[in-house]
């Protein structure tokens, strides 16, 4: 053979590996914190994590870090807190601020597409800046309205934010990811550099890797490929995108912003999952334990669930769940507020209020003596 391979001559020896590590390690360790310093991140009042950045968990941690005033209260929850049908100035945190007379006392810590199992992961791995803070945690019983919503079915169900849920224990039966996917989720949570890469992909490359981004199409027919000859480096504008103030999909002018029903009467039969077996409720309990373990002063807001939607005979089961949650919270001395159900016309669906609904909800929460007492307490857990 005239061409005997000699590739081994270009392999690294021990010293060269050490040299490579001496370059790679500082890059990996220092890039994320340095990046946070140079990237412009305009939060402002009523800021919420933009919809398209819902998977940017590193950004969430950055957001919590940015809201560093110990007097600020972070409102944690799913899309009800985030405000699925409303603009940033129509959310619960906005109206709580309005009630308090401050501009940014309450921080919108909701994320679109969340549920307790994912929120638990988010707070556990990305929520360290929340330590010693006052936290309002929303409890949405929507996640117990069926085994599917509770993620307790045997059949495989795709769901959002699967990288945040427990990957091995407790077992989520409908989550059928292979071992590699689960392990890479576990690694990603623990390596800050990977969270930073995820942030880059989410913020500047349409949730794609830089290479895949160059091949992204616009979804049209025939598809157009707009990034083929673009310089990926130019995408990195060093300014985190923010939620549009005039999102056509949200707010009073949007066609989606309308009451869930014209006559206000429902006949939905939910297949409630009992508290003793609900995965979401267990995750919620663990989340509270985690927050309290981090010296957070937690207040739980139970609801706002749209009771009007349910068939009459289904309400008893709902009340059992709601009362069970309240009893557990009381038993564990966790202050909680369970505002009265809003008028039917103020709901957009089973749990999301419309703008006026949020306003009314904020008023009711603010007027609640438990809430008022809790507000006067110190930031850390009493």
Partner 1 sequence: MLFHTWPFVIFLLIVLPIFFALRKTRLWLLWLLAASYFFYGLWNPYCLLVVLYITVLDFFLVALMERCPEEGQEVDFRTGPTRPTCLTRLTRLTRSRGTWLVVGLIGNLLPLLFFKYARFLGENLNAVLSWLHVSATMPDPSTLMPFGIRYILPVGISFFTFQSMSYLIDFYLGKTPRERNFLRFANFVCFFPIVLSGPIERAGHLLPQFSSFPAIRLRNFSDGLSLFLVGLFKKLALAGYLSVYVDRIYDNPKVCGAPALILGTVAFGWQLFFDFSGYTDMARGVGKLMGFDLLQNFNHPYLATGIGDFWRRWHISFSRWILDYIFMPLQMYWRDWRATGTAAALLITFLVSGIWHGAAWTFIIWGALHGLAATFSLERSAFYRKRVPKLLKQAVVFIYVSFAWIFFRADSLSDALLIVRRIFTAAWQDPQLPALMVGLVVLVWIYQIIYESKFRKVLELGVVRVGLAVVMVLGLCLFSSGGGAFIYFQF
Q: Which residues of the chain form contacts with partner 1 (CB under 8 A)?
A: 1-5, 7-17, 19-20, 23-24, 27-28, 179-180, 183-184, 187, 193-194, 197, 200, 209-212, 214-215, 222, 225, 227-229, 232
Minimum CB distance to partner 1 smaller for 231 or for 376: 231
How near is the Cβ of 11 to partner 1 at its closest, in Å? Answer: 4
- In terms of CB distance, is 174 or 185 closer to partner 1? 185
What is the arrangement of strands in the sheet containing 73-77, beginning at the earlier edge strand?
106-110, 73-77, 134-139, 297-302, 336-337
148: left (phi over 0), alpha (psi -120 to 50) or beta: alpha
* CA 173 – CA 124 distance, rounded (Å): 21
Smallest distance, Å, CB 211 to partner 1? 4
- In this structure, the strands spanning 336-337 and 73-77 are unpaired
Which has the closest alpha carbon to 146: 318, 283, 261?
318
Min CB(50)–partner 1 separation in Å? 22
Q: How far is the CB of 190 from partner 1 (least distance, A)?
A: 12
Q: Which is nearer to partner 1, 23 or 101 (CB)?
A: 23
State the minimum distance, in angstroms, from the CB of residue 205 to partner 1.
10
In this complex, which beta carbon is closest to partner 1, that of residue 14 or of residue 101? 14
Given the complex with partner 1, which of 208 and 290 has the nearer CB atom?
A: 208
How large is the C-alpha radius of gyration of the chain? Answer: 23
Closest approach of partner 1 to the CB of residue 232, in Å? 7
**Separation between Cα atoms, residue 361 and residue 337, nearest integer Å:** 11
Q: Which contacts of 252-255 are long-range, i.e. CB under 8 A and separated by 24 or more positions?
A: 252/87, 252/90, 252/354, 252/355, 254/85
Q: In which region does residue 93 sit, left (phi positive, over 0), alpha (psi from -120 to 50) or beta (all else)?
A: alpha
Minimum CB distance to partner 1 smaller for 13 or for 376:
13
Distance CA 71, CA 330 (A): 25
**Two tokens, residue 191:** 């390596």
- Measured in degrees and rounded to the nearest 5, phi and psi for residue 327 equal -65, -40
Q: What's the min distance (Å) between Cβ of 35 and partner 1?
A: 13
Please, what is the minimum distance in Å from the beta carbon of residue 27 to partner 1? 7
Residue with Cβ nearer partner 1 (204 or 318): 204
Q: Nearest 10 degrees: CA dihedral of 149, 155, 157, 161? A: 80
**Closer to partner 1 by Cβ: residue 21 or 103:** 21
Minimum CB–partner distance for residue 229 and partner 1 (Å)? 5
38 or 233, CB closer to partner 1?
Answer: 233
Residues 6 or more apart whose CB falls under 8 angstroms from that of 12 comprise 20
Query: How far is CA 203 from its chain centroid?
Result: 16
Q: How many CB atoms sit inside 10 A of residue 371's CB?
A: 19
Calculate helix-pair angle for 116-126, 179-190, nearest 10 degrees.
40
Contact 66, 43 (CB under 8 A): yes
Give min distance, CB of 325 to partner 1, in A: 37
The rounded distance, in Å, linking the Cα atoms of 111 and 84 is 10
Q: Toward partner 1, which CB reaches closer, 129 or 232?
A: 232
């Amino acid at each position: 053979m005239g061409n005997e391979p000699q590739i081994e001559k270009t392999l690294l020896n021990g010293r060269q590996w050490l040299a490579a590590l001496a370059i790679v390690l500082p890059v990996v360790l220092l890039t994320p914190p340095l990046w946070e310093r140079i990237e412009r991140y305009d939060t402002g009042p009523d800021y919420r994590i933009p919809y398209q950045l819902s998977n940017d968990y590193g950004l969430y941690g950055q957001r919590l870090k940015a809201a560093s005033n110990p007097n600020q209260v972070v409102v944690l929850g799913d899309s009800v807190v985030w405000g699925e049908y409303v603009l940033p100035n129509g959310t619960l945190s906005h109206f709580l601020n309005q009630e308090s007379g401050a501009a940014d006392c309450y921080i919108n810590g909701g994320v679109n597409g969340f549920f307790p199992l994912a929120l638990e992961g988010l707070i556990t791995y990305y929520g360290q800046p929340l330590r010693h803070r006052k936290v309002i945690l929303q409890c949405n019983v929507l996640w117990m309205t069926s085994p599917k919503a509770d993620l307790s079915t045997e059949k495989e169900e795709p769901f959002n934010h699967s990288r945040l849920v427990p990957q091995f224990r407790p077992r989520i039966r409908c989550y059928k990811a292979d071992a590699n996917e689960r392990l890479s989720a576990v690694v990603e949570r623990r390596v800050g550099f990977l969270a930073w890469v995820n942030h880059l992909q989410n913020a500047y490359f349409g949730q794609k890797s830089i290479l895949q981004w160059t091949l992204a199409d616009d979804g049209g027919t025939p598809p157009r490929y707009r990034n083929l000859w673009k310089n990926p480096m130019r995408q990195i504008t060093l300014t985190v995108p923010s939620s549009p103030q005039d999102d056509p999909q949200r707010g009073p002018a949007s066609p989606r912003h309308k009451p869930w029903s014209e006559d206000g009467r429902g006949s939905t039969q939910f297949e409630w999952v009992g508290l003793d077996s609900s995965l979401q409720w267990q995750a919620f309990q663990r989340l509270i334990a985690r927050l309290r373990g981090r010296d957070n002063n937690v207040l739980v807001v139970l609801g706002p669930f749209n009771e009007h939607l349910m068939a009459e005979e289904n309400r008893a089961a709902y009340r059992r769940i709601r009362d069970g949650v309240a009893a557990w919270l009381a038993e564990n001395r966790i202050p909680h507020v369970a505002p009265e159900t809003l008028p039917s016309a103020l709901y957009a669906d089973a749990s999301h209020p419309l703008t006026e609904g949020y306003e009314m909800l904020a008023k009711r929460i603010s007027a609640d003596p438990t809430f008022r007492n809790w507000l006067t307490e110190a930031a850390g857990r009493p």
